[in-house]
């Protein structure tokens, strides 16, 4: 049986242990889908994992994530790990955590919420009710989004 191997990256970021089926959402967050990409991006989906059954992996050469991107990724997949690669070695490995307050990263699903009014310069703000399973509510109108992933901006 032939196996396709994914080559290691010299410098960049590997996002590992993404919940299976969510790799494309990660690509949208880091701007790979909307922007012109100048580096190699590898996406592995539905990969066998010893610890979790199945997972997705995203590898981006010559790019490290912004803190706001890491915060959004933490909202999408609770067991994700971020690996910073330098000269083919893992320089830093960490598991991002969901913050107690999610500010400016999501849009409230309530169209009447003050955070959605164009004339009000108010940044969206959500309070985390529970991290596992993830539940949040709008700081202003107290609405809980039914789909957290769709609310991410």
Which domains, from first to last, does the chain contain?
12-94 (3.30.70.140), 101-151 (2.30.30.20)
Name the percent of the chain lying above pLDDT 90: 65
- 153/53 Cα distance (integer angstroms): 29
Q: What is the pTM of this model?
A: 0.85
More confident residue, 5 or 73: 73
Is the preceding peptide bond at 133 cis, omega within 30 degrees of 0? yes
Q: Give the tokens for residue 141.
A: 């109108």
| Residue-wise pLDDT tens digits, 100-144 | 999 999 999 999 999 988 777 889 999 999 988 899 999 999 999
- Please write down the long-range contacts of 88-97, taking CB distance under 8 Å and 24 or more positions apart: 88/8, 88/9, 88/10, 96/70, 96/71, 97/131
Which residues are within 8 A (CB) of 43 and not within 5 positions of it... i.e. 6 or more apart?
Answer: 23, 24, 27, 56, 57, 58, 59
Nearest to 29 by CA among 61, 80, 75, 79: 75
47 close to 61: Cβ distance less than 8 angstroms: no
| Residue-wise pLDDT tens digits, 34-74 | 667 778 899 999 999 888 789 999 999 999 999 999 999 99
List alpha helices for 44-113, DSSP H.
67-76
């Amino acid at each position: 049986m032939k196996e396709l191997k994914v080559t290691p990256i010299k410098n960049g970021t590997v996002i590992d242990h993404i919940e299976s089926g969510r790799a494309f959402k990660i690509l949208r967050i880091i701007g790979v889908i909307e922007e012109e990409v100048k580096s190699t991006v590898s996406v592995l989906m539905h990969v066998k994992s010893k610890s979790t059954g199945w997972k997705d992996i995203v590898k981006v050469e010559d790019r490290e994530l912004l803190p706001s991107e890491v915060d959004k990724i933490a909202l999408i997949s609770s067991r994700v790990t971020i690996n910073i690669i330098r000269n083919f070695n893992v320089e830093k490995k960490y598991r991002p955590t969901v913050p107690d307050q999610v500010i400016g990263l999501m849009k409230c699903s309530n169209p009447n919420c003050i955070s959605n009014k164009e004339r009000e310069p108010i940044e969206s703000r959500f309070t985390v009710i529970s991290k596992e399973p993830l539940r949040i509510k709008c700081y202003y109108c107290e609405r809980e989004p039914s789909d957290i992933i769709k609310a991410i901006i």
